Amino acid sequence: MKTLKLISIAYFFFISTIIFSQEYRVYVSSGTGGFSSVKEFTLQGDYLGDFVSLGSGGLDWPQDIIFLEDQEIMLVSGLNSQAIHQYNSITGADEGIWANIPGKPTRMKIGPDGYLYVLQWDTNSKVLRFELDGTPLGEFTNTGVTQSIGLEWDSSGNLYVSSYGLGVVQKFNTLGQDQGVFISGLSGPTDIWRDSNSSGDFLINQWNGNKVRRYDSNGNFIGDFIPSIIQPEGHAYLPNGNLLIGSAGTADKIIEYQSNGTLVGDFATGNGLANPNAIVVRDATFSTKDFKKNKVLVAPTMGSTFKLNTTETHSLKSLEVVSLLGQKVADIDLMQETWEASSLKEGMYFLVAKDKGVMYTQKIIVKK
């Protein structure tokens, strides 16, 4: 059914005009209770205000942020409000509850199959899965992970979930079946992610350990990536490759590092920023309007190798690949006849074309 679903989506994609420019913004979850908000910063760390105002929609202790650009919505998981809240991605206005999660949602991420995966802090702590329209698909994992708060996939599609309370990372196969403990001996691990250097290494924020640790693709400890940072949680890469990490406790700020872990300095602090759990770097002007013109840029619409429609593409000024989060991930050479997407993670992307001042986009699915 999953394959049929993806094929059905792919056949009904169409071209859209697009208002698009590389004007990046940084969004950070902040606070608890009535002081819960999502704060907005420029790419230089200048504070622009609260994108989601204090306590908007009943938000309490925000944990993660997901932008669904094609729907013009932003999802924010609220631990104490026990819900995934929906906000307008352009204005930040409250649009109600996207999903109620009695188990207290923490980290969220779109998986290789295009579904939204949600971790639960309490109850049975199993990983939940949703379609991007909010349709619940039930529990993905066959066992729970106590106080789960970080998730990532490897290149084979295996899922890894960190347990803050148990100090471990649990591994699950592509069917959601428990494969046992992958990494142990951690001290309050929060989010987990793959290093941007293509090594396959895992980087893990340790809230209690006050450091970021590096492990290889087999779960073997390599060393401390960042040896000292107060209560780290939340991370995002800037367009220049530098890494932002949230620092809570007595710090309550966002710290910038080079991609190799070398300290750059404070990126943002003050302005009510507290307990930064999630950081998202996003092109804030990414939005679409339906334009039902059958102008195909590549074919097929699903796969890992795409053939360019050279009749159209040779006249374009540029052709970019943009993630669902509004981040450019690749440029396509307009002089070539095919484009190889095997370096990208599986999932949905936009192809963004510029032609004589007009922007077009085609949705594709990368599936290996």
Provide the 10 A C-beta neighbour count for residue 368: 13
301 and 195 assigned to the same domain: no
Question: What's the pLDDT score for residue 366?
Answer: 87
Q: Give the CATH number for residue 348.
A: 2.60.40.3080
Provide the 10 A C-beta neighbour count for residue 257: 20
Q: What are phi and psi of 11, to 5 degrees?
A: -70, -20
243 and 224 assigned to the same domain: yes
Enter the tokens of residue 308: 């360019």
218 and 336 assigned to the same domain: no
pLDDT band at 53 (very low <50, low <70, confident <90, very high): very high
In a domain, 1, yes or no: no
Q: Which of 256, 283, 310 is the last residue of a domain?
A: 283
CB contact at 8 A, 149 and 131: no
% of the chain surpassing 90 pLDDT? 70
Question: What's the pLDDT score for residue 22?
Answer: 58
134 and 35 assigned to the same domain: yes
In a domain, 16, yes or no: no
Does the pLDDT at position 358 exceed 80?
no
Mean pLDDT of 210-231: 98
Does the pLDDT at position 145 exceed 60?
yes
Does the pLDDT at position 21 exceed 80?
no
121 and 237 assigned to the same domain: yes
In a domain, 313, yes or no: yes
Q: Give the CATH number for residue 83.
A: 2.120.10.30
CB contact at 8 A, 254 and 267: yes
- What's the per-residue H, E or C state across 79-124? CCCCEEEEEECCCCCEEEEEEECCCCEEEEEECCCCCEEEEECCCC
Owning domain of residue 121: 24-283
274 and 325 assigned to the same domain: no
Q: Which of 158, 168, 232, 147 is nearest to 194 (CA)?
A: 158
**Number of domains, the chain:** 2
pLDDT band at 260 (very low <50, low <70, confident <90, very high): very high
Most confident of 156-170, 302-316, 332-346: 156-170
273 and 302 assigned to the same domain: no
Q: Which of 283, 302, 330 is the last residue of a domain?
A: 283
In a domain, 6, yes or no: no
- pLDDT greater at residue 225 or residue 362: 225
Least confident of 69-83, 91-105, 315-329: 315-329
User: In the predicted model, what is the mean pLDDT of the chain?
Assistant: 89
Q: Cis bond leading into 300, ω under 30°?
A: yes
In a domain, 226, yes or no: yes
Q: Is the pTM of this model over 0.95?
A: no
202 and 99 assigned to the same domain: yes
Q: What is the DSSP track for 165-223? A: TTTEEEEE-TT--EEEEEE---SSEEEEEE-TTSS--EEEEETTTTEEEEE-TTS-EEE
Q: Which of 236, 256, 283 is the last residue of a domain?
A: 283
Query: 171-188 burial, b if ≥16 CB within 10 A, otherwise e?
Result: bbeeebeeeeebbeebeb
Q: Residue 13 is inside which H or E element, if any?
A: none
Question: What's the pLDDT score for residue 243?
Answer: 97
pLDDT band at 94 (very low <50, low <70, confident <90, very high): very high
277 and 293 assigned to the same domain: no
Enter the tokens of residue 32: 């608890």
Residue with token string 């929906």:
86
3-class SS of residue 8: helix
Question: What's the pLDDT score for residue 313?
Answer: 87
116 and 239 assigned to the same domain: yes
166 torsion bin: left (phi>0), alpha (psi -120 to 50), beta (else): alpha
Counting DSSP H helices and E strands in the chain, the numbers are 2, 34
Q: How far apart are CA 305 and CA 298, in angstroms?
A: 10
Does the pLDDT at position 235 exceed 90?
yes
110 and 126 assigned to the same domain: yes
DSSP symbol at 301: S
Residue with token string 């530098």:
242
In a domain, 154, yes or no: yes
Half-sphere exposure of 181 (CA within 13 A, CB side): 10
Question: What's the pLDDT score for residue 364?
Answer: 87
% of the chain surpassing 70 pLDDT? 90
Q: How far apart are CA 166 and CA 185, in angstroms?
A: 9
279 and 298 assigned to the same domain: no
149-204, pLDDT tens digit by residue? Answer: 999 999 899 999 999 999 999 999 999 999 999 999 999 999 999 998 778 899 99
Does the pLDDT at position 39 exceed 80?
yes
